[in-house]
Structure 1
Amino acid sequence: MAVDLNHTIVPSRNKRRSAEFLGGILGLRVGKDWGPFTPLETANGVTLDYMEAEAVQPNHYCFIVSEQEFDEIFGRITEQGLPYWADPGHHTPGEVNHLYGGRGFYFDDPDGHNMEVITAPYA
């Protein structure tokens, strides 16, 4: 039996703003609200379902993309002047990492979630 991730709930202080922020960075379309959720679907069908919450405990979300998509995403980050880091602890600002033969970086969304974009999977 194959097990796939279908969706995850992303807590947010403003679900539409946060979904549109990440969708804009990643080049993804934000879906219509469905009940308490604002969905953002990735290419492999996994949905990040943004839901409003009074208190948000930041989480980590990683997205694997092609080299071309990386360039486009990184371009949107730099065009908007958003801070980014080479590491998850945010100790190396303004740099891209080159782990496992790929490229990667981290940035925060409006709720403090630690977003990661990589071009090569980790071992």
Structure 2
Amino acid sequence: MTARFNHTIIASQDAAEMADFYRDLLEADEAPSWGPFTNILIGDGVLLQFAAPPIEFPPQHYAYLVDDEHFDRAYAKIAGSGREHWADPQRTRPGEINDEHGGRGVYLLDPSGHYLELITRPYL
């Protein structure tokens, strides 16, 4: 395989707020911003760009693979802030994490209403 993921634009009601939220939760690096984009950089040089879209947007799903120590820190932030979270994407297990796929995972909503998933082991 030669293709590698490089960047994505995440529709945001408030680009700066979203970048701050993701930077904190994902322990991401700051990146230069331009035009309508507020940018951060995550592992493998992937650029996340936050911008207000010109139209309404449906919620999207974004899953991030983190190591166990990062998961512990992120989950402490999620739980400590009182942010709603779930062990499952159907949101039937509030306030919990899961232990599926040989690791741990949690689901939550970002400030613009997108579904985030943090996992410690890849599905494949």
TM range (shorter): over 0.9
RMSD: 1.3
Indicate the SS of the match to 2:72. Answer: helix
Q: Which amino acid counterpart does residue 78 of structure 1 have in structure 2?
A: A
- State the secondary structure of the residue aligned to 2:85: coil
Q: TM-score, normalised by structure 1?
A: 0.93
Q: CA deviation at 1:52?
A: 0.8
User: Could you report, residue by residue, the CA deviation over 1:35-77 in whole angstroms, capped at 9, with x for unpaired residues?
Assistant: 2111121111111111112523110000001111110111111
- Identical residues among aligned pairs (%): 38
Matched residue, 2:59: 58
Unaligned runs of 5+ in 2: none
Distance 1:71 1:88 in 2: 20
User: For 1:44, what is the secondary structure of its paired residue?
Assistant: helix
User: In 2, distance between residues paired with 1:9 and 1:80?
Assistant: 26
Q: Which runs of 5+ in 1 are unaligned?
A: none
Between 1:100-109 and 1:32-41, the stretch displaced more is: 32-41
Query: 1:117 aligns to what?
Result: 118
Aligned partner of 2:19 in structure 1 is 19
Q: In structure 2, how many angstroms separate the alpha carbons of the residues matched to 1:2 and 1:35?
A: 30
Aligned counterparts of 1:32 and 1:57: Cα–Cα separation in 2 = 27
Conserved 8 A contact 1:104-1:119: yes
How many residues align structurally? 123
* Alpha-carbon separation, structure 1, partners of 2:75 and 2:30: 19
Could you say what secondary structure the match of 1:72 adopts? helix
Alignment of 1:70 onto 2:71: yes
**Alignment-mate amino acid for residue 122 of structure 1:** Y
Contact 2:26/2:42, CA 8 A, preserved across alignment:
no
Could you tell me the TM-score, scaled by structure 2's length?
A: 0.92
Poorly superposed stretches of 4+, deviation over 4 Å: none
